[in-house]
Amino acid sequence: MEKKKITVAIDGYSSCGKSTIAKDLALYAGYVYVDTGAMYRAVALYAMERGIITADSIDEKRLAAALPSISIGFALQPDGSQHTLLNGNDVESRIRTLDVADGASRVSTIGFVRRALVEQQQAMGRDKGIVMDGRDIGTVVFPDAELKIFATASAEVRAERRCRELEEKGTPKPYAEVLENVRERDWRDTHRTESPLRQAADARLMDNSALTREEQSAIIRRWFDETVNSENH
Ligand code: DC
């Protein structure tokens, strides 16, 4: 008999390796992976390109009117990675800049944006067999997820990782600026009134400040296997 599929919710601070955990696990489990941060980033990119979001303001009225014309999807690449599509266009590299990260952090504080995206995310997970990462997956999107993981690492470790990523992409930024950006986003993610980032009471904590990718992956796979086995009892 085929094993019953579960829902895996992964939340945590920015740049703490959530997507690494989620991608690894989705591949291991043969599940669909959904990066919800990419969805907030795509909305931000759309709004920034049209001047709906500027350096110091968001035109919420125009953003609300624009939302129905924003369609977000994911396209699997031949190398197994996933690219984000905005109205059919591949925007993967454009949504990974610090500017768009900042815009995403700002649009994600708006209730009507969250409600629209949460609805899409819940539809994507209707049949389970999904690994979704974000900030509110275990608390709001899938409060009944069988496995919830809350990932964390120190701000300094996360800023170092982010610097390395930016360097690899050919868009290096000074460490101090990246660290400040990490701290600013942490503050905003945890202090907003709409679905602030917090660890669900039943989430398992994964502090990976001092873990290699392999060590972390082994722990997460064990958690997954244990959960699936107990669900299939
Ligand atoms: O994980 P990320 O850095 O790609 O997320 C971009 C921004 O979107 C981040 O500031 C937090 C926000 N976000 C959110 O509020 N809820 C989610 N489920 C995912 C991301």
pLDDT digits (tens, 9 = 90+) for 194-230: 989 999 999 999 999 999 999 999 999 999 999 999 9
Ligand 1 — pocket residues by CB below 6 A? 14, 36-37, 40-41, 101, 104-105, 108, 134-136, 185, 189
Burial of 223 (0-12, 13-18, 19+ CB in 10 A): middle
Query: Would you say the C-alpha torsion 169, 100, 72, 220 has a positive or negative sign?
Result: positive
Q: Is 176 left (phi over 0), alpha (psi -120 to 50) or beta?
A: alpha
Please tell me the pTM assigned to this model: 0.91
What is the Cα 92 distance to its own chain's centre? 14
User: Does the annotation flag 19 for ligand binding?
Assistant: yes
Rounded to the nearest integer, the mean pLDDT of the chain is 94
User: Does the annotation flag 46 for ligand binding?
Assistant: no
| pLDDT higher than 90, residue 3 | no
Query: Would you say the C-alpha torsion 142, 143, 149, 152 has a positive or negative sign?
Result: positive
What is the Cα 189 distance to its own chain's centre? 12
